[in-house]
Amino acid sequence: DQQVKQNSPSLSVQEGRISILNCDYTNSMFDYFLWYKKYPAEGPTFLISISSIKDKNEDGRFTVFLNKSAKHLSLHIVPSQPGDSAVYFCAAKASGTYKYIFGTGTRLKVLA
């Protein structure tokens, strides 16, 4: 039973446009959500996170939105750049636990 789902395995976007990556979760105990970026032959690197007490967190070109009622979060990248081309994983965690649950990733390709 996959508690964190990224239903789009891939996404292509033109340089300069907005990239929107989506993530759905099923466990209502999750209260901390993270996005990681992964380049080939490297480990995932932390990008941005959001706590369930917020509905938006912004860091430069990256914004994460959380809709708790829909159990949905999204990552917006604007403007998208070719260097953003990577696999993006969302992850979720419940307070009081050590376990992070990862989605299967979305491969973003930003076309120059």
Q: How far apart are CA 94 and CA 81, in angstroms?
A: 33
Q: How far apart are CA 47 and CA 61, in angstroms?
A: 11
User: Residues binding another protein: what is the number (CB under 8 A)?
Assistant: 25
Task: Mark residues 32-61: x for contact with another protein by CB under 8 A, - for none.
Answer: x-x-x----xxxxxx--x-x----------
CB of 96 to another protein, least distance (A): 5
Q: How far apart are CA 23 and CA 79, in angstroms?
A: 20
By the criterion CB under 8 A, which residues form the site for another protein?
32, 34, 36, 41-46, 49, 51, 87, 89, 91, 93, 95-102, 104-105
